[in-house]
């Protein structure tokens, strides 16, 4: 059995400079609260949708965004590939949470260029995956903060040059934090497998939810003005 399919050895790990895995960062209450909010955010308007790629494909994870709406491969103000409604606002507490996550990963002296202002939230069923890609639509280069809820997955974290080897496979479980910034900010990464049925019973979730928090570097805007 590949090592990432086993759940022991759950130590904090810096895979390479700037890429830090912190197991069990969110406790059960924090996971429940965040999941309850994800369920609200998933509702219309500008709720959960399927994402079509320019090549005519469809991402197997469904997605909802906050702050800025992501479509392959840019940010927009409205859910232009969904119901067209303005994207939901990015709540201030997610900026606080993301900053705590970065301090946890790097120490409190890490400087950010601005506030966290985008959440990309992906819902994976047991057969969903995400291909190797870079998070590169942000103009800022602050660390991406990734939180896992529900089923565990095999997260593939690669190199800055290509989608292929070398890469590390990490098992992300419910409550885990993964931060990638600094030299690892533009690394290719993806989800190669969801371990269906591994979600902790206290969450009442079938599948996996991943919340990524990002600094867009784009000008702030409001739906009203
Ligand atoms: O689901 C994950 O762990 C990764 C998600 C991701 O890479 C993204 O949303 O860009
Ligand atoms: Fe990504």
Q: Tell me the CA–centroid distance for residue 86 and ligand 1, in Å.
A: 22
- 10-19, 50-59, 214-223: which has the minimum mean pLDDT? 214-223
Is 83 labeled as ligand-binding? no
Average predicted confidence (pLDDT) for the chain: 95
**Of 68, 64, 100, nearest in space to 177 by CA:** 100
For residue 212, report the distance from its CA to the centre of ligand 2, in Å. Answer: 8
| Mutational test site, ligand 1, from 61, 134, 210, 216, max ligand atoms within 8 Å of CB | 210
Residue ranges of the domains in the chain? Answer: 15-214
3-state secondary structure at position 30: helix
Q: How confident is the model at residue 221 (pLDDT cuts 50, 70, 90)?
A: confident
Cβ 147 under 6 angstroms from ligand 1: no
Ligand 2 center to 224 CA (angstroms): 29
- Closest ligand to Cα 211: 1
Query: pLDDT tens, 68-103?
Result: 999 999 999 999 999 999 999 999 999 999 999 999
135 belongs to an annotated ligand binding site: yes
- Give the DSSP H/E element, type plus range, for residue 70: strand 69-71
**Is 130 close to ligand 1, i.e. is its CB under 6 Å away?**
yes
Q: What is the rounded distance in angstroms from the CA atom of residue 114 to the CA atom of residue 32? A: 28
User: pLDDT above 90 covers what percent of the chain?
Assistant: 93
Residue 144 near residue 215 (C-beta atoms within 8 A): no
15-214 folds as Jelly Rolls (2.60.120)
Calpha distance 144→51 (Å, rounded): 20
What mean pLDDT comes out for the span 115-122?
98
What are the distances in angstroms from CA 97 to CA 34, 53, 60, 76, 126? Answer: 11, 30, 27, 24, 28
């Amino acid at each position: 059995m590949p090592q990432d399919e086993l759940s022991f050895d759950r130590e904090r790990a810096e895979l390479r400079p700037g890429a830090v895995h912190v197991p069990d960062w969110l406790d059960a209450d924090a996971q429940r609260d965040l999941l309850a909010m994800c369920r609200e955010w998933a509702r219309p308007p500008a709720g959960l949708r399927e994402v079509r790629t320019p090549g005519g494909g469809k991402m197997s994870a469904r997605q909802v965004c906050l702050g800025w709406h992501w479509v392959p491969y840019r940010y927009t103000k409205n859910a232009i590939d969904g119901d067209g409604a303005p994207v939901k606002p990015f709540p201030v507490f997610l900026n606080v949470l993301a900053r705590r996550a970065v301090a946890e990963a790097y120490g409190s002296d890490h400087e950010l260029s601005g506030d966290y202002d985008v959440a990309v939230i992906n819902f994976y069923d047991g057969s969903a995956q995400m291909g190797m890609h870079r998070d590169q639509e942000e103009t800022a280069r602050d660390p991406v903060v990734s939180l896992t809820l529900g089923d565990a997955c095999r997260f593939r974290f690669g190199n800055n040059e290509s989608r292929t080897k070398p890469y590390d496979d990490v098992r992300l479980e419910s409550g885990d934090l993964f931060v990638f910034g600094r030299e690892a900010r533009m690394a290719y990464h993806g989800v190669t497998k969801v371990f269906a049925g591994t979600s902790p019973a206290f969450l009442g979730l079938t599948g996996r939810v991943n919340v990524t928090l990002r600094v867009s570097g784009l000008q702030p805007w409001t739906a009203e003005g």
